[in-house]
Amino acid sequence: MGPLILTSTEIGLELKTVPTPAPGRGTVLVRVEAASVISYHRDIFSGARNYPLPSPTPDGGLGFAGGFSAVGRVAAVGPDGSRHLANRVWRDGAFAEYVALPLENCHPLDEPRLCGQLGYSAADLAYTSYLSVAFGGLRDIRLEPGETLVVCPATGGFGGAGVLTAVAMGARVLAMCRSEAELARLRARVAATFAAGNNRVETVRVTGDAAAGNSTHLRSAMRALRRGGRVSLMGMTADFGDCAVAAKNLTLKGKVMYEREDLVQFVKMLEAGLFPRGQGGNSEMVEGNSFVDTMVFRLDQAKEALDAAAEHTGLGRHVVFKP
């Protein structure tokens, strides 16, 4: 079944029948087990968020499969192992039964360890798509065990993943957001899922009396840093100009996603058991005491999945397609 193809943002994702892609040189054909849906995919595929999309095909349509990160099984490999640059072979996302991917963008997972001993399902493991983005930024500013990190805002999909990842890395976290209810959920979740986690997360409620573009939460967090503090800017905001940068010798680094080495390291953390265990392969969730609360959809439920992803967001919440 599938893939879910975007030909125009007016129409949105459509389930199409296409031939199974053949893995070319340096690529691998992956049978998708779980493909992550993020909170603003709906806005990207409707054009409400002006994201750069792959160039149109000669017929003028956008014509590519939606999606980004996925967990799957190798179905076939290309005729040789030579590597092609990603932009020569990678156009489609993972909202599909099969997707052909450049070898350098695939990472082997230790299935007996992760799904056997640690109890993760494929849908659970797809939450790596959130955690690894946060890890890319935290590794980029060399977060060390025992250091204190401010995450702001902390209650979105990627912000929440930043809290979980930083605690798994051994840091103390100060989490900021507007909603006391979400902060209480965050504290309870971390306390329930990490040994001694409760001692390592404190929360601060910001007033929320300003629109996102005018809110001072980021600059307030920067002012709270020690002299010589490091900042990883991962949200798409330009609101980080503050005299604290010079006055406190701060280092600001922008980061999109992660490097391949970061993902290699992240998979080692996961396999080492530094995150909470899964539920023995059962992706049905128990709020408050497990790795991730995943909602699972079929590819013919595109609208339901995109709507759910926009709502079911925040720390430990995730939506996937299971083709």
Toward ligand NAP, which CB reaches closer, 73 or 205? Answer: 205
CA distance 323 to 301: 10
CA distance 304 to 290: 24
Least distance (Å) between residue 310 CB and ligand NAP: 9
Distant-in-sequence, close-in-space partners of 126: CB < 8 Å, separation ≥ 6: 33, 34, 35, 36, 69, 70, 71, 294, 318, 320
Least distance (Å) between residue 176 CB and ligand NAP: 8
List phi, psi (to 5°) of 298.
Answer: -85, 165
> Among residues 300, 263, 295, 283, which one has the least CA distance to residue 37?
295
Toward ligand NAP, which CB reaches closer, 138 or 285? Answer: 138
The H or E element that residue 37 is part of is strand 27-37
Least distance (Å) between residue 293 CB and ligand NAP: 14
What one-character-per-residue DSSP string does 64-98 give?
EE----EEEEEEEE-SS-----HHHH----S-SSE
What one-character-per-residue DSSP string does 149-209 give?
EEESS-SSHHHHHHHHHHHHTT-EEEEEES-HHHHHHHHHHHHHHSTTGGGGEEEEE----
Least distance (Å) between residue 134 CB and ligand NAP: 9
| Residue facing ligand NAP at closest CB distance | 156
Least distance (Å) between residue 86 CB and ligand NAP: 16
Least distance (Å) between residue 245 CB and ligand NAP: 19
Toward ligand NAP, which CB reaches closer, 211 or 238? Answer: 211
Toward ligand NAP, which CB reaches closer, 29 or 175? Answer: 175
Least distance (Å) between residue 208 CB and ligand NAP: 5
Site residues, ligand NAP (CB under 6 A): 39, 133, 153, 155-159, 177-179, 182, 206, 208, 210-212, 215, 217, 234-236, 255-257, 313
Question: If you search the block for the tokens 């499969």, which residue do you land on?
Answer: 65
CA distance 17 to 193: 42
Least distance (Å) between residue 138 CB and ligand NAP: 12
> Among residues 136, 149, 161, 153, which one has the least CA distance to residue 38?
161
**Taken in order 49, 54, 58, 64, is the CA torsion positive or negative?**
negative
Residue 57 DSSP label:
P
Toward ligand NAP, which CB reaches closer, 153 or 276? Answer: 153
Toward ligand NAP, which CB reaches closer, 22 or 212? Answer: 212
What one-character-per-residue DSSP string does 234-260 give?
-SS------THHHHTT-EEEE--S--H
**Taken in order 282, 286, 292, 295, is the CA torsion positive or negative?**
positive
Toward ligand NAP, which CB reaches closer, 206 or 263? Answer: 206
Toward ligand NAP, which CB reaches closer, 40 or 106? Answer: 40
Least distance (Å) between residue 61 CB and ligand NAP: 25
Toward ligand NAP, which CB reaches closer, 35 or 100? Answer: 35
